[in-house]
Amino acid sequence: MLVVGGAGYIGSHTCLTLANRGYKPVVFDNLSNGHSEFVRWGPLEKGDIRDRERLDAVIATYKPDAILHFAAMIEVGESVKDPALFYDNNVIGTLTLLAAVLSAGIDAFVFSSTCATYGLPKQSPMDETHEQRPINPYGRTKWIVEQVLQDYDSYKGLRSVILRYFNAAGADLAGHIGEWHSPETHAIPLAIDAALGRRTGFTLFGNDYETRDGTCVRDYVHVLDLADAHVRAVDYLLSGGKSTQLNLGTGTGTTVRELVSAISTVSGKPFPIEHAERRYGDSTSLVANSELALSILGWQPKYNLHDIIRSAWQWHSSRNHG
């Protein structure tokens, strides 16, 4: 398996799961957001998805049966500040990758997408029939790639599984790898760092949303559950499965205030909370209906919020990086 972006958070956990299921993951990553320390279950080939010559060389060397594509810029706030960077990497880079994939005759492609393609929820939980109207450049770049893949299926014979996951969280239960972004912008690691005294407190953006406590609602799904879904998607495609788009989430919404409270409970360390204005591009509530993933892949999440926080706490409290 060629795991593009496999040195990153979700990609590395997927490599772990692939190896555990008997596959050989080959990581292709420029290490702009990934970490060479996370490449433990197969070779690392350094390269950028916009470099067609490098892609062709790596694909020719390993002759992968399928491609898993995680290589994207993902920070919503950054996409608002500089959308050009996101279009260059997420759209142009993916088109370059797809050209190399088609040239090599590979017809199985798993795409790491996002619930951000839906935009503001018209109903909750959301299923795959929900209209897609992204409200930020990050979500829009992912949505564009989804449309490209649908066209490539119809006109080029490239079968794909598009996985729209909600809020990835947690860490490998053995503590080998976890969530490590530079800079860190995700709620759980930020709150844990506050509990560990590595930052002065946790900033809560917006407390006037139309939710049960005024803070945003999110569907936190364990990264190992997401990794399991990606491997199931590979199995499905290699068994001749047709192209499909699937949500990945638990179906349970947690407010940011509830999340912070749970982290305080698991860690046993309360920490100060600061309040700030809403961030542009944040949706009020994002909760998944994942019944289709159960039907097609036999996938359902194994881990709950407590498992997520406990594994994340173990990773962050024991880490020796940054």
With respect to residue 215, please indicate whether it lies within any of the assigned structural domains.
Answer: no
Mean pLDDT along residues 75-98: 93
Judge whether residue 321 has pLDDT over 50: no
β-pairing, 220-222 with 202-205? unpaired
With respect to residue 180, please indicate whether it lies within any of the assigned structural domains.
Answer: no
DSSP per-residue codes, 142-207: HHHHHHHHHHHHHHH--EEEEEEE-EEE---TTSS-----SS---HHHHHHHHHTTSSS-EEEE-S
With respect to residue 187, please indicate whether it lies within any of the assigned structural domains.
Answer: no
The model's pLDDT over 224-260, given as tens digits with 9 standing for 90+, comes to: 999 999 999 999 999 999 999 999 999 999 999 999 9
Highest mean pLDDT among 50-54, 77-81, 265-269: 50-54
Catalytic entry in 9, 138, 209, 236: 138
**CA-to-CA distance for 308 and 36, rounded, in angstroms?**
24
Mean pLDDT along residues 189-195: 90
Judge whether residue 115 has pLDDT over 90: yes
Q: How does the average pLDDT of the chain come out, rounded?
A: 94
With respect to residue 258, please indicate whether it lies within any of the assigned structural domains.
Answer: no
The model's pLDDT over 255-267, given as tens digits with 9 standing for 90+, comes to: 999 999 999 999 9
pLDDT of residue 175: 86
With respect to residue 87, please indicate whether it lies within any of the assigned structural domains.
Answer: yes
The model's pLDDT over 17-36, given as tens digits with 9 standing for 90+, comes to: 999 999 999 999 999 989 99
**CA-to-CA distance for 221 and 91, rounded, in angstroms?**
26
Mean pLDDT along residues 137-142: 95
- Answer with the residue of higher pLDDT: 290 or 316: 290
pLDDT of residue 163: 98
With respect to residue 272, please indicate whether it lies within any of the assigned structural domains.
Answer: no
Judge whether residue 281 has pLDDT over 70: no
What HEC string does 119-140 produce? ECCCCCCECCCCCCECCCHHHH
With respect to residue 316, please indicate whether it lies within any of the assigned structural domains.
Answer: no
Q: In the chain, what percentage of residues exceed pLDDT 70?
A: 99
Order of strands across the sheet that contains 285-286: 254-255, 217-218, 285-286
**CA-to-CA distance for 208 and 198, rounded, in angstroms?**
28
303 is catalytic: no
The kind and range of the H/E element at 68 are: strand 67-69
Mean pLDDT along residues 90-107: 98
The model's pLDDT over 210-225, given as tens digits with 9 standing for 90+, comes to: 999 999 999 999 999 9
pLDDT of residue 319: 75
Q: How confident is the model at residue 322 (pLDDT cuts 50, 70, 90)?
A: very low
Q: Which of 23, 318, 4, 21 is nearest to 178 (CA)?
A: 318
pLDDT of residue 320: 56
CATH number at residue 95: 3.40.50.720
The total number of structural domains that make up the chain: 1
With respect to residue 213, please indicate whether it lies within any of the assigned structural domains.
Answer: no
Mean pLDDT along residues 108-131: 94
Kindly compute the dihedral angle of the four CA atoms of residues 4, 312, 321, 272, in this order, to the nearest 10 degrees.
130
Q: Give the domain range for residue 21.
A: 2-173+222-249+288-301
